[in-house]
Amino acid sequence: MLRLINTLTISYLVAVIVSTYAKVEYDIVETSSGLVRGRLDQYKSTKYYSYKGIPYAESPTGSLRFQPPVPKQPWTGVYNATQYGPVCPQSVWRYKREQMSEDCLVLNIFVPVTNNSDKLLPVVVNIHGGGFRTLSGDSQYIYGPELLLQKLVIFISVNFSETATGNAGLKDVILSLKWICKNIDKFNGDKNKITLMGHSSGASLIHYLMLTKKTTNLFQQVILISGSALNQRVLSRYPTEIALQLAHELGIQTDSIDTSTILKTLTEIDPFEISDSDGKLVLANETALQTLSLFVPNIEISSSHSILAEHPKFIVKEGLPQNVRVLTGINSMEGFYMYPRIMKRFEELQFIHQNKQILIPSDIEYPLNSRNSIELGDLIFKFYFKNDSRITHYNSDRLIEYISDIIYVYNVDLWTRIHKLRRESRELYFYEFEFDGALNWAKLMYDIQKPGVSHADELGYLFLTNITKNIIDSIDGRTRKILNTMLEFTTNFVKYG
């Protein structure tokens, strides 16, 4: 009788445990790095497995800081990939410091459940934006993958180093792509149908990956949203000087010691001190018209590790080493997200008519106050402000148009025109997004009430973002139609090219 009671008691406890955890289903995948545990999740009627925070590189700490990434050594046991990994150290945006770590080189894989488990799925690898300074591959703010998963594509997001010199972020992403190509078939993905997708600086980073032979066979297509490698803001012309400025901000004596000693000292400093100092330098150098990122890609001395050995414009003209299919586009008023900032600092703009050379793009290096510089400044001012003698609240829309062109539209238009002139170029599709609706992310984020379509507005039609996820079920029919069109348009390119 006692044995029966004990048996019943044990059976009851087992039943309680099973019922408690029955709602969570796990999946273990064997990768080249080791076993990875993911979990089954669901959005509406779409079930999918998520594998989060999978490390693809060793922690870039100590002597590995600022160096090319080192592949992750295989682990023993099962890696628990049910939580996002750390965010790379950064001085802006809204992540808490406890969410950050230098050991942040991880990727996240989301695999929709399909009726045909034998058919390999096309893969989207998303490279986040953020000006090479901020954001992450997680879904806390922008990159919720659920909408794309409904279209039965695998979605992968990648973390890479920021506020770091030597094209570290580019090299991180290349290593992550090698890991993906080696392992994606274990997740039911097709390594021959990999599309890189990036917005803003993420698009610029991907364009850089098209300019190097080191990415051969790592991807077949790209989606470049509002960005390219020809954007003058994403190529550092003076990387050594900027590194010395950072060292000085950190209290390192830069006059009497060589750069190798400075670099060694930087590897010993707390990473949060470095990111905070980077933030201070950015604030000290930005203007009402432009925010800056200091540690962006740069031209390197040619070596076995170098990614970019000449100016991107020359490589584009010569022909891209990675001649893949391209989907690229812009928004109708890219600079609109700057509107609140411009209104806040409008007094600074009152003096532009006295020194119109400020309007000249930074990659046009006319000597200040030279005849060419003065004449070009006058021409730019007249082109945008017509017969107005100064910038006012009444013509501020023209200022937004100038910012849109100078930061985003011109560089995208330029590289696509050059690309199309080459006969051997693969297919290139160009679009303009001009829908002003309920899911326009940037306008919601920055509380912009004026009509127009800003930089980053289309993200609400591709991702389940922090702002749009609570309103997406109640949007009007017109917005719903555009949402479905954007998702279909994007994933059709991913699937069929």
Report, as residue numbers or ranges, the catalytic residues: 200
Tokens found for residue 395: 């013509």
Tokens found for residue 355: 């020194």
The residue assigned the tokens 């990659």 is: 363
The residue assigned the tokens 């180093």 is: 161
Strand partners, 451: none
Q: Taking a C-beta distance cutoff of 8 angstroms, is the pair 215, 174 a contact?
A: yes
Q: Taking a C-beta distance cutoff of 8 angstroms, is the pair 158, 483 a contact?
A: no
Q: How large is the angle between the packed helices 259-266 and 239-249, nearest 10 degrees?
A: 50
Long-range CB pairs of 113-117 (<8 Å, 24+ gap) are 113/40, 113/46, 113/47, 113/48, 113/49, 114/152, 114/188, 117/188
Q: Taking a C-beta distance cutoff of 8 angstroms, is the pair 448, 476 a contact?
A: no
Tokens found for residue 100: 């950050």
- Residue 109: which residues within 8 A CB-CB, separation 6 or more? 38, 50, 51, 52, 54, 154, 155, 156, 184, 187
227 vs 167: CA distance, rounded Å:
17
Q: How far apart are the first and last CA of the chain?
A: 70
Q: How far is CA 103 from CA 61, 444, 445, in A?
A: 7, 32, 29
Q: What is the DSSP string of 165-234?
A: STTHHHHHHHHHHHHHHHHGGGGTEEEEEEEEEEETHHHHHHHHHHT-GGGTTS-SEEEEES--TT-GGG
46 vs 73: CA distance, rounded Å:
34
Tokens found for residue 301: 């001395």
The residue assigned the tokens 């690898």 is: 125
